[in-house]
Structure 1
Amino acid sequence: MFVRDGGIADVHHSSSQFDVHGRFSVPRSPQGHPVLIQAGDSAEGRDFAAATADAIFTLHGSYDAGRDFYADVKGRAVRHGRRPEDLLVLPGATFVLGDTDADAADRAVEVRRAQVGPQTAIAFLEQIWGRDLSGYDADGPLPAIDPDVDNVSITRGRVRHARDPRTVAQEWRDLAAAKGGLSIRETVIEATSRTSFIGSARTVAAELDRYVQGDACDGFILIPHLTPGGLDAFADTVVPELQDRGSLRTEYTGTTLRENLGLRPTARPATDTTRRTSA
């Protein structure tokens, strides 16, 4: 536990692994409490973020899905005695820019095919199916066999552990059929794409603004497809468009991340910093 003496916390922790007793010598952060960002789309993850986080990182592939998620987690925050604005919704989003919308769309196809090669597509599929699928052709159809729900040794990543693999497999089959018979690789590209904004700088700025103004999110964590330098074109072309629309600041007014995110200095009870449990 932490024992307070004049505002400075002494650490006393005892467990089967560690015995720690002392005083942390690093001064308190200028922003008071660090910004806590939680990631998780499950019901448990949403509730955890609503109760404790300053922001939640999420993935949703459409405007309507974003609005549903936004309303859900903001409502959960209120039920935990917080204000809706105390929890920011910041989805991860990719973007592809072009001189025209058509040019950007062509580039987006190239980008996703480069990101999801044949081996990557099979690896994604194995996360769901729980089987060794190395013998399958990534440009062929999805496996006709069902996922092996008992075999976890072949799975890698988070997909298998988040949802029932049989349900996900059927959703992927439905997606492949609805899109005219997608191959394994094409299905993985469709099913694993993040929220993506594709078009000219003006088109992308307008769509980003629509999401925020329409309560689909409070902002974005941009994920460029190229590093380093992947944000340069966005900063040079989309940012001015957003500023012209009055949707993005032209300068920072705060001195900390917490201030610039528009979060309160700290809305946490004192017990959050004094109560700890020993393992």
Structure 2
Amino acid sequence: MELNLNGKVALITGGSKGIGLATALLLTKEGAKVAICGRDVHKLKDAAALIKEETGQDIFYSSKDVTLKQDCENFVKEAAAHFGGVDILINNAGQSAAQPFDSINEEMWRKDLDLKLFAAINCSNAVLPYMKNKHSGVIVNVTATIAKTAPASSLPTSVSRMAGMTLTNAMSKDLGKYNIRVNTVCIGLIKSEQIERKWKKDFSHLTWEEFSQMPAHKIPLGRIGNAEEAANTIGFLVSDAASYITGTSINIDGGKGEAL
């Protein structure tokens, strides 16, 4: 299947590692002009070098803190000026934060909402003028399956991610008249730095494959997923192949989630 991304300008927050980096690499391979942001400039440089090595193409990168509205606006402005517009936004910035309700203070709540909800709101607002001008665009919000069925000790992430799902659905209704599609992918257990740290700390006697396939994970497909698998779904959603899909969520979790 051809994704038809030649010349499309794609912005990805949290693009220096994990799902963000895998998506940046995929979209570059498919002909898109990619811009990524993150807090760590060294990781951004490494990501750009990897993509250059794999594809022969340069990407745009900028060190930004997306919990700050001004940084969101500046990232979009800089990337749009560099490439001449914006066609795709992937709100991917985030990190795991899962604790019991009675152990979370107000600062922790605000920090999580700033990173996972308000960053998506501010970046989306910043790209709207460019997308409205073209009368087309695609926004993908990366959320999590625990937003749908929150287990114990899953706060504040489950709340922030549920807010992101509701944001997605409402945005799709408001922005459809501009031919702007908005969807979300709900991530389950996907290989990440955090999961790798747990593996090396608590299960170092196992190979990655053995750890990934542990029955304790309760994944119907029998293993932890890879960032590239998440990137493939995101790539489909931002492509013309998904031109009639908006306002929906797709689980990327190997079947573990209890809700559609």
- Which structure has the larger Rg over C-alpha atoms? 1
Per the normalisation by structure 1, the TM-score is 0.29
Per the normalisation by structure 2, the TM-score is 0.31
